[in-house]
Structure 1
Amino acid sequence: MAIIDPSGDPLNTQRGSTTSSTAPDPATYIVDMDMNNFQQILEGSMQTPVVLDCWAPWCEPCKNLMPVLEKLAREYQGAFVLAKLNIEENQQIAAQLGIRSVPDVKLIMQGQLYDEFQGALPEGQIRQWLGKYIQAPEDAPPSPEEQARAALDAGDPATARTIYEQLSQANPEHYDYRIDLAGALLAEGNPDRASAILDGLPPEHRDAPKARGVRARLAFGEEAPDAEELAALAGRDDSEARYKLALRKVADGDYEAGLEALLDLLKTDRSYGDDLSRKTLLRVFDALGADHPLTVTYRRRMFTLLY
């Protein structure tokens, strides 16, 4: 879809990153769109990208999304213009843009529609979407999601849990935040609450890969040997002991060591537990996610070993 300029010709451009000068006053880059400034805003996209937020007063997801977009617009300091279009009051524009449901967010650059998304995405996903086209200021503060991930990496699940609780409360329709909260609670040593959060998700989110991953981590925690059993395993080097020690490593979050131990057991005693090491490797991959670097590396090594 091309946005038409006043001459009636499509404005074509190459897709790419754009950086704009800083505008000191947010009123210059957070604006309401209507028939009075519609053409002016589109023409302005020749110099500065426009994020067009199409919303309606009766739309609850729109009310969750708009503050996120406004926050990002201020953070980007004028690198893009946030134009807010009330489709109820501007039905002619909405019809011209082909808006069928809201929220509907469009990125317009150099007079052309570059990308769009529908629905109230989480802030982290919107950042990724923007980052494909627009460079954020170097001094932009880390997002809450980045802060939470950094806290988990630093061994501080309590801080991550607090951040995810706040995100979940502020964005009740973003179920990924609830899944992240369950993961933080599990890392903090609260598996019962983590399980309750997962059980309370709508079915389509409860069975999604991300939720299955947290459930797999919950299961590993239940199956892994406790301190007493670990003491009893000390000095043993049989397949059962090696398998249980690998489970403990996975449950403790030492995934690489656990995967290495399971792969070694697969290599030396594949018949143990009716191919249990291979089945458990697949469960760890599910827990980490298909795109995790360890999943990619160890899945390849497992297939090389087997085939």
Structure 2
Amino acid sequence: MINIKRLSECSVDKAVKAWNVGFEGYFFDATTNADAFLNRMVMEGLSTKLSVVAFHDQEPIGIVLSGIREVNGEKIAWNGGTGVAKDFRKKGVGKLMMEASFTIYREEGVKLATLEAISENENAIKLYESIGYQIVDELEYLEMNGSQDESPFGLSVEYKLQRLLPQQAGLLSFYKGGNPWQTQWQSAKGGEAITLVDESGIEAGYAYYRRSLDEKGNHVATVLFQCEANPECKDPASIIESLLHHVFGNCSESIKRVVPNMPVKKSKETSETLKSFGFKPTVKQVMMVKEMSN
């Protein structure tokens, strides 16, 4: 018999086992340990009260991690991972956990449920579509690593640079709060943000990002979460290019430059600009949403 429990009712060891068996044989190695699991829960705003674990004869066989945020006055839920043990796949366990998650979402007043799925994972996409999710965008995990011979990004002198916190970027009228969960300002813990302001004081664009240092204090990576131009301003490509110049500099450092879950449609201008300057997609996903009234 399959039992579904909230993650808050389970030990960390059981949760980690549920995750590891649930993602065995996945498209990439998703194996975790207790420290990494708990750190991810905190960094990505996931909740033990909102997440569920499936058990068979007291053994964990599946997991769905969830978090809830408020975007534009409405509660949005994110599925941060659905995994089912190999022996129990295609036997309804995933659907059972998802239905339990929907019950929790409704109890919490969630209006929209969101998730991402690897584009090649047709079985998962079919499951999500069968329970009401629809594909709304394609996402690309972009990278450009190592030092570059020349600075790829130009810099417009029309705009003044201002520095702020990621959460302040979230207050801008053109902030893209509907972009994927992991790109929202709440996921940029320890990050920095910038805006470009024109001569009349209008914000022309924003970006927020996080620099990673090794134990010796050396800069080893920069993760760009969002980089957007104000749609009311002219020449958005120039604005985005200037923002990228401030985020990545002249690219002379031999570091990793990562842009997770860049929407191909919702952030078309940014996506095309990044790829034109040498960023390459390494993972492709789809963004899916479900109206909780359905």
Same fold (TM over 0.5): no
More helix by proportion, 1 or 2? 1
TM-score, normalized by length of structure 1?
0.29
1 or 2 for the larger relative contact order (CA 8 Å, sep ≥6)? 2
Task: Give the structure with higher Rg (CA).
Answer: 1
More strand by proportion, 1 or 2? 2
TM-score, normalized by length of structure 2?
0.30
